[in-house]
Structure 1
Amino acid sequence: MLRSKWRSVVGMCIAVLIVAFSISPQFRNIYGLPPNMRIIQGETALFTVNYPLTVTVSQDLGDSIRIKSPSNGYAISRPVFLESVKLGRGTVEFKLLGLIPIRTVQVDVLPQLKLVPGGHSIGVVLHSHGVIVVGNSPVLASDGQFITPAKDAGINVGDIILSINDIAVQSDNQVAEIIDSSGQTEKSLKFLIKRGSEQLTLNVNPVLCNDTKRYRIGLFVRDSAAGVGTLTFYEPNSHAYGALGHVITDSDTNQPIDCEKGKIVPATVSGIQHGKRGQPGEKIGVFIEEDQLLGNIQKNTQFGIYGNLNNNLQNDLYQEAIPVASMNQIQIGYAEMLTVVEGQNIERFSIEIQKINLQDYPEGKGLVIKVTDPRLLEMTGGIVQGMSGSPIIQNGKIVGAVTHVFVHDPTKGYGCFIDWMLMESGIIPKKERQTSNRLFTHYTFPKIA
């Protein structure tokens, strides 16, 4: 009887200890690790593992990674270094008392990468696939009534017009000409519309506008967007580049622009609109020699724009390519960002990485950063529009890019991991999931149709 009670007490104590441990900071940190991690070959990843946790590396998938310390493969109450030995995959297992599985993390060892940091101010011109509906413009008919034929037919703001009467459309002027010519022949218009992931066919009857004396359907449309951002990196051998760190969206509809073609050109910063609490600042950027192409734009993705440079660009601060660091190598504390605040001169400014949100799939807001450089704070107030894409460098390695400013505190903002930008560029294998943030000085001009 006594022995049975004693067993019950011991069991209850063990249960209480397990529950207490499960809500401890150590448990939350380990359980917060993503199920998949990436390490660049030659890097080491640090875990702090305290009793009663142990960590081992499974050997069934080869010897791509190994525990550097301790030598017996277990660690109790000490830091643990995972050393990447060769390309491949390994599994790290965290267990309670060496018996109860707590967390399993799959680690992929990727090839060493070196990139030239950006920081250059670039002008971006992006042409959409089709034209974007950005607003309604009522048509004054001959009877004096204002009507909206396109809206009445079911065309919505944010829709993308892909073709009219089976003619692929690529510009706002082309749309206006097709509508007017069809109206003169009293023909109905067949629109192929992209709305989200689906395509729709809608018929619209154009109306003669009493003001313009042209046939119209009552829409504002746009075929391109332009603005100023920052180059993040380029690969010196292939000339592949990444910039901005976030998707370019239409300024009226906030919908991502489906890239048909685009280009980046040189830009200069002629002034700064100082950032304030509740009012983000802005670089005043000017395109210079718009006919001088720096490179093309092949993709507009949730983590920026990507393409190829015509020639490698000069960066006086980093004339040679430097390594990249995966997200698990980033540390809380000092880092620097490269950006232009005057003319075309790339400068380095001190920042502090305040929070690291480890992610298993591509997501925004991976880093929380704070500008600490007194000169940058004096000149801009912190992070301003046009800085998106500014590379973040820590310990001599590219770790990410600035993407977003806190509206309530312009000294702070978000950054994305370089991991996700490398995936979008195709340099390392990609995992699918989507989200985005933007911080892009945006100039767009709608056309009336």
Structure 2
Amino acid sequence: MKRDYRRSVILLLKRKWFLLSFFILSLMVAVAYVVTLFVLPGHITLLAGEDYTISIRSPLFLQAFTDSSLLKLTYMDDQAVDAFERPYKLTCTGEGRAEMEVKMLGFIPVKTIEVKAIPSQQVLVCGFPVGIKLKTSGVMIINVSSVVLENGEKVSPAEEAGLLAGDIIIGAGGKNIQSIKDLVSVIENSNGKPIPITYVRRNVKYHTSVKPFKSAEDTQYRIGIWVRDSSAGIGTLTFIDPESKVYGALGHGISDIDTGSLLQVGSGQLMRSNIKGVKKGIKGTPGELEGDFLSKNQVIGDIELNCDFGVYGRLADDFHDPKGRPISIGSHSLVHVGKASILACIRDDIVEEFEIEIQKIAKWDLGSTKNMVIRITDKRLLQATGGIVQGMSGSPILQDGRLIGAVTHVFINDPERGYGVFIESMLQQAKAVAGRYRGMPKASGF
């Protein structure tokens, strides 16, 4: 009996050990599977005709496959460091999209990677300062307030009509509103009768009606809003497409300082500028490039688009001094952590190259303007500006002899560091603007 009991105990222990081992092995495979899903990119952008290497490292013995005629996939077994690594060379024969399947043991699907091929092209990389004068499409409400009547009563006509800060008034009293002057004229001539209003909120058009009241302060009719119809400032020109003469600048959009809403372009001018001084950045207080574009008053292009990825338009046909140099672009898939440089101007209109370090890369979020975390390492720039300052937005980021992005933001509490956007996001906007200009007469100075 004792012998049978011992045998039963041993069998039970072996079974538990087997189950425990199986559980641990399954858990390890599951963890490796999940980690692989996050480590492998969801999408890769290649330059058509150029080679790109991707290394798949996992204990799951993964393999890559594709049935696309656009994508050529070559396994490079001589470059594998160990049994868990499988390096592949990817080549797209032309522009377009393809899919690459990653499978475990050759037949279990793990992840589908979208491969996008964009044209290999050269642009003129710039880095010099420009003045930006932007007039909005319509007028933007920056604050909704009250109107004080003669009897001391306070009314809020705009609020009662449903208007909010950030709304853009594009029509009033049956007229198109292009400026503050247009809106004031309609309100003053209303004689207190309700005015039909057309406005835009988050790209959706709405209609309402607002009744003006005579203010006790100046006896003028008012509806209780503060508005803005223009903006001006200094930024950096990132690149110029030498064929279409379309440019890209800033790397981020111009937003209203009060509401934070992106300003919609009615018209705008890109102007030649010089840097006259630098307000050095310190922790908690961003610095600033002090530029001058009003004294020159030289328009070098128009502004067609203000979007999340910057300001775009076309250079004037009589502008022949871009001060740019030809350079090939680099897709976000080529960007890597390590040394890089930026082109920036901190005095007059002289563009200089400064060393930086790319510390982090967010390759999965192409809809953001914060794709890279960069750190200024060049002592010359740190001594002059303290790091990244206002006005440097749009400064080109170079790595391995290619244009890969542009500076967009500074860390308020660490001015030596900031964000950068991938250049392909900017080029996509420039391409859209160039498409609008096709068939139109070339711009000229004005």
Q: Do the structures match in fold with TM over 0.5?
A: yes
Q: How does 1:246-265 map to 2 (within 5 A)?
A: 246-265=252-271
Structure 2: how far apart are the matches of 1:52 and 1:393?
36
Match of 2:130 among 119, 122, 128: 122
Question: What displacement does 1:284 show?
Answer: 1.5
Name the Cα RMSD after superposition. 3.1
Correspondence for 1:157? 165
Correspondence for 2:3? none
Structure 1: how far apart are the matches of 2:183 and 2:305?
24
SS at match of 1:426: helix
Matched, 1:191 2:229: no
Distance of aligned partners of 1:176 and 1:351 in 2 relative to their CA distance in 1, 3 Å threshold: same
Match of 1:393 among 395, 398, 416: 398
Distance of aligned partners of 1:101 and 1:17 in 2 relative to their CA distance in 1, 3 Å threshold: farther
SS at match of 2:166: coil
Structure 1: how far apart are the matches of 2:86 and 2:354?
32
Q: How does 1:211-290 map to 2 (within 5 A)?
A: 211-288=217-294
Matched, 1:349 2:335: no
Alignment check: 8 A CA contact 1:39 1:45 kept: no
Alignment check: 8 A CA contact 2:80 2:86 kept: no
SS at match of 1:341: strand
Counterpart amino acid of residue 260 in structure 1 = G
Counterpart amino acid of residue 129 in structure 1 = S
Structure 2: how far apart are the matches of 1:389 and 1:49?
36
Match of 1:62 among 63, 69, 72: 69
Alignment check: 8 A CA contact 1:266 1:289 kept: no
Counterpart amino acid of residue 174 in structure 1 = D
Unaligned runs of 5+ in 2: 1-7, 436-446
Distance of aligned partners of 1:427 and 1:396 in 2 relative to their CA distance in 1, 3 Å threshold: farther
Give the structure with higher Rg (CA).
Answer: 2
Counterpart amino acid of residue 370 in structure 1 = R
Correspondence for 1:142? 150
Unaligned runs of 5+ in 1: 431-449
SS at match of 2:380: helix
1:263-289 per-position Cα deviation (integer Å, ceiling 9, x unaligned): 211122111111111111111122145
Moved more, 322-331 or 5-14: 5-14
Moved more, 3-12 or 343-352: 3-12
SS at match of 1:128: strand
Correspondence for 1:434? none
1:184-203 per-position Cα deviation (integer Å, ceiling 9, x unaligned): xx432111122224333222
Structure 2: how far apart are the matches of 1:141 and 1:337?
57
Question: What displacement does 1:56 show?
Answer: 1.9
Distance of aligned partners of 1:4 and 1:240 in 2 relative to their CA distance in 1, 3 Å threshold: farther
Structure 2: how far apart are the matches of 1:173 and 1:400?
40
Distance of aligned partners of 1:156 and 1:67 in 2 relative to their CA distance in 1, 3 Å threshold: same
Structure 2: how far apart are the matches of 1:123 and 1:29?
47
SS at match of 1:425: helix
Alignment check: 8 A CA contact 2:304 2:433 kept: no
TM-score (normalised: structure 1): 0.85
Q: What is the aligned residue count? A: 424
Matched, 1:172 2:180: yes
Question: What displacement does 1:373 show?
Answer: 0.5
Structure 2: how far apart are the matches of 1:14 and 1:274?
61
Counterpart amino acid of residue 339 in structure 2 = Y
Question: What displacement does 1:30 show?
Answer: 5.5
SS at match of 1:294: strand
Distance of aligned partners of 1:75 and 1:82 in 2 relative to their CA distance in 1, 3 Å threshold: farther
Question: What displacement does 1:221 show?
Answer: 0.9
Structure 2: how far apart are the matches of 1:159 and 1:390?
31
1:149-180 per-position Cα deviation (integer Å, ceiling 9, x unaligned): 32333322211111111101000111111111
SS at match of 1:295: strand
Matched, 1:373 2:373: no
Alignment check: 8 A CA contact 1:242 1:307 kept: yes
TM-score (normalised: structure 2): 0.86
